[in-house]
Amino acid sequence: MPCQTPVSCGRLFDEIAAINLTHWSAMATIGGTFAAAAADRSRERGQASMRPEKVWGSIRSYFGFRVIKTAAAALAAILTATFAGADNPLSAGLLAILGVETTRWKGLRIVFARFAASLLGLLLAMALFRLIGFHIWVLSIYILIAFPLLGRFGLKDGIVTGSVVVFHLFSKREVSPDALVAELQLLLIGLGWATAFNLAYMPKEGKKLTALRDRTEDSLAAIFVQLARHLRDPETLWAGEELIAAEDAIERGIVLSDRARENRLIPQDEPWQLYFHMRREQLDSVKLMMESVAFVSSKVPQAEMIAGLFDRLSQDVKSEFYEGETERKLGVLEESFRRMPLPATREEFETRAALLQLSRELKRCLQIAKRSKKRKSSSDPAVIE
């Protein structure tokens, strides 16, 4: 309604201004609330990202743990050699770099090989330098004699380290007990710090191995489901990506489990090694079963029965214990096969022959698990039975 007088128009303008002021005040309050909440969330994220374990994890994932150990060992060796007054302390850092390894036992073996090879190389080089002299071509004679000799004694891992100390001795142009002691001092400092860092700490592989186990079992379960589907419907198509995933997880698991065993100071069997080698055997058996399933080109009652076993096996493969129920059912199924009438057509004969071979390979796969998996005690309730 339009205003009739100047006074009423003024009141109307005041009311509009008050409404606008209230509106913008509310918007400012809401905006401030959201801004404060966003700032709090940003501050929380910043605090979380600045936690020491997060920072250390980021550093480790970026550089790699072995690189960090190598840098620390080299620095410690150089500083120690400097404080000890050793000649050319940088050589101690180089020896420390050569001595850092990925596992404890490998580190001990490599350090022993490097020290023994360096000692033999020094003695041989000192004899050559004393007999022939300090000529460049004498180094070639040293290489021609020392490298095959060290390889024959099983010390080929120490060839590079031995060459470092021999070349250092050549640069000093001195053959004396003091020169030998100086080179041994560098060896002890450099390889000593490498050994210390090798033994001090090695990253745990438990989480990675558990993830690989889960991936392996999920892939095997998916393979058994696909085999059951094909037995029920021979026209079913399958790309086979689960087979590739299972093989990749198993091979990576074997490598990591070998590394975990090498990190044990007391030699003993690594349970993860037994597990992944068992899965590798089973995967080989699964590949043979896939070949048999490929020859099943028609629907027969026996195929449906074996498909039911694969359905159950897709669950049992994730069990920590060996259940034994699938093996018992397979025995009953094989006995029922013998009582069935002979095939009436060539196609049925070929299909049943493929199923017979499939059942035998399935029994072998179950026997592998039976040897390796823990048995469920009679006092424990069965998981599926």
Q: Could you tell me how far CA 129 lies from the centroid of its own chain?
A: 48
Gap between the Cα atoms of 107 and 144, Å rounded = 27
Residue 379 has pLDDT above 60, yes or no: no
Q: Residues 151-155: contacts with CB within 8 Å, 24+ apart?
A: 153/120, 154/113, 155/113, 155/116, 155/117, 155/120
Q: Could you report the per-residue pLDDT of 207-222, keeping only the tens digit for each?
A: 888 899 999 999 999 9
Segments in 64-176 forming alpha helices (H): 65-83, 90-99, 104-131, 136-152, 159-172
Gap between the Cα atoms of 371 and 348, Å rounded = 35
User: Positive or negative CA dihedral for 27, 29, 34, 38?
Assistant: positive
Kindly list the domain boundaries of the chain, sorted by start residue.
1-40, 64-200, 206-375
What is the b/e burial string over 283-319, where b = at least 16 CB atoms within 10 angstroms of the residue's CB?
bebbebbbebbeebeeebebbebbbebbbbbbebbee
Gap between the Cα atoms of 107 and 195, Å rounded = 7
Query: Considering only the top CATH level, what class is 206-375?
Result: mainly alpha
Residues 6+ apart with CB under 8 A from 25: none
Q: Would you give the DSSP letter of residue 343?
A: P
What pLDDT score does 58 carry?
59
The verdict on pTM exceeding 0.85 is no
Q: Which has the closest alpha carbon to 363: 295, 292, 297? A: 292
User: Positive or negative CA dihedral for 81, 86, 87, 91?
Assistant: negative
Confidence of residue 246 (pLDDT cuts 50, 70, 90): very high
Q: Could you report the per-residue pLDDT of 42-68, keeping only the tens digit for each?
A: 454 544 445 655 554 555 555 677 788
Residue 179 CA: distances (Å) to CA of 91, 155, 165: 14, 23, 11
Which two three-digit tokens encode residue 361? 């390979």
In terms of average pLDDT, the best of 24-33, 257-266, 286-295 is 286-295
